[in-house]
Chains A and B, each alone.
Chain A
Amino acid sequence: MSDGGKSPAGEVWQCFKCRIPMAAGKVTITYLSSEFPVELLKCPQCGLVFVPQELAMGKMLEVEKALEDK
């Protein structure tokens, strides 16, 4: 386990409160009046969402920039 940001290997994130594993589900993300329905891991019970670093700093950043220049 390094400080580089990798989650502990081979394990999955669980919702702390509901104590159940995250599962794929529909989430709406918005930016500058645009809405995007996407499939993300979320807690089936309380709706807590998991956005991995790769998504936040990859595709999401790309879309943010594109929308900002529109």
Chain B
Amino acid sequence: MAKKQQTAELAKVGVAVALTFIAGYVDAVGWLSLNRVFIAQMSGNMVLLAVHLVAGEDGHVWLQVDTIVGFFVGLVISGSVIEIGMRQHMRCIFVVALVVEFLMLAAFAIAGSALPPSPFAEQDHSDWLTYVLVAVVAFAMGGRIPRCAWREFFRFSPRI
């Protein structure tokens, strides 16, 4: 019994680490290719929002707002869907969040091929495609597994 519990605990940590790996990966790709925004780290975006506001850089301000709103909406929608599923005692409800994340990241991968080839270069391409992609990927990152579910699902807060 104790061994079974230990295995389940290990499995949960494995899932948490895999999802954290994806968060780090997408954050790096997003920052390099989507006009210097953090897709999975909202603290950084809040600081950048303030900095761009003070500097009067409207394009960047709207991009930061786009990211934060996309992330927030993703969290709220995904959190609600998971909560409804959990109240219905659907054991695989988290898979729904993962499928949505997969579809959105796949859309980003396909559309991302159209982005400039040298992502390390300083760039400012705040066109409509950047805004849409930022919103889509931020929604995916926000909607993966909401924090309240993480806490109970993994019996600890991953605090990412």
Q: State whether these chains interact.
A: no
- Residues of A whose CB lies within 8 Å of any CB of B are none
- Residues of B whose CB lies within 8 Å of any CB of A are none
